[in-house]
Structure 1
Amino acid sequence: MGIKKTGKNKYRFRLLLLHPRNWLTWISLGLFFIITLLPLSLIDALSFRLGKLAASKNKKRFNIAVKNLALCFPKKTTQKIELMAMQHFQMQLRSVFHYFILWWRPVPVVQDIIIKIGFEKIEKYRQQEKNIIILLVHSVGLEFAGAAIAFDYDTVAPYKKMRNPVINWMVANSRLRFSKSYNGKHGGKLFTREDGLRPLIREARAGKILVYLADEDLGEKHSIFAPFYGVQKATLPVLGRLAKLCDAVVLPCVSCYDSTSKKYQVKLLPAIQGLPSGNDETDSLKMNEAIESAVNQCPVQYFWTLRYFQTRPEGEKSVYE
Structure 2
Amino acid sequence: MFFKATVACVWLLSWLPFKAISALGWLVGHLIASIPSSRRHIGRVNLRRCLPDWTEADRTRLLRRHFVAMVQMLLEYGYCWFASPERLRRLMRIEGLEHLKQHEGRPVILMMPHFTGLDLAGLRVSLETELVSIYSRQKDPWLDEFFRTRRLRLGTGIIFSRQQGTRAVIRALRDGYRLYYLPDQDFGHRDSVFVPFFGVNAATITGLSRMAMVAGAAVLPCYPRREATGYTLVIEPALDNFPTNDAAADAARMNAVIEAQIRRQPYQYFWLHKRFKSRPPGEADFYG
Task: Quickly name the TM-score band, shorter chain normalised.
Answer: over 0.9
Counterpart of 1:179 in structure 2 is 155
Alignment of 1:1-321 (within 5 A): 23-126=1-104, 129-180=105-156, 188-258=157-227, 260=228, 262-321=229-288
The runs of at least 4 consecutive aligned structure 1 residues that moved more than 6 Å come to none
Name the SS of the counterpart of 1:161 in structure 2: coil
Do the aligned partners of residues 308 and 256 (structure 1) sit closer, same or farther apart at CA in structure 2, a change above 3 Å counting? same
Question: Per-residue deviation at 1:31?
Answer: 2.1
CA distance in 1, matches of 2:9, 2:251: 43
Partner deviation per Cα, 1:171-211 (whole Å, 9 max, x = no partner): 2222222333xxxxxxx111112211000001101211011
CA distance in 2, matches of 1:113, 1:58: 33
Do the aligned partners of residues 58 and 170 (structure 1) sit closer, same or farther apart at CA in structure 2, a change above 3 Å counting? farther
Partner deviation per Cα, 1:55-86 (whole Å, 9 max, x = no partner): 23352101211211221122110000011001
CA distance in 1, matches of 2:51, 2:61: 13
Unaligned segments of structure 2, at least 5 residues: none
Partner deviation per Cα, 1:281-317 (whole Å, 9 max, x = no partner): 1111111112112223321110100000111111211
TM-score normalised by L of structure 2: 0.95
Do the aligned partners of residues 69 and 46 (structure 1) sit closer, same or farther apart at CA in structure 2, a change above 3 Å counting? same
Asked if the contact 1:243–1:249 (Cα under 8 Å) also holds between the matched residues in 2, the reply is yes
The amino acid that maps onto 1:98 is: E
Name the SS of the counterpart of 1:33 in structure 2: helix
The amino acid that maps onto 1:256 is: R
Report the identity percentage. 30
Asked if the contact 1:133–1:210 (Cα under 8 Å) also holds between the matched residues in 2, the reply is yes
CA distance in 2, matches of 1:31, 1:241: 41
Do the aligned partners of residues 318 and 257 (structure 1) sit closer, same or farther apart at CA in structure 2, a change above 3 Å counting? same
CA distance in 1, matches of 2:259, 2:188: 20
Question: Per-residue deviation at 1:137?
Answer: 0.6
Partner deviation per Cα, 1:81-118 (whole Å, 9 max, x = no partner): 01100100011000111111211122211221111011
Unaligned segments of structure 1, at least 5 residues: 1-22, 181-187
How many aligned residue pairs are there?
Answer: 288
The amino acid that maps onto 2:32 is: A
Max radius of gyration: which structure?
A: 1
**Cα RMSD over matched residues?**
1.4
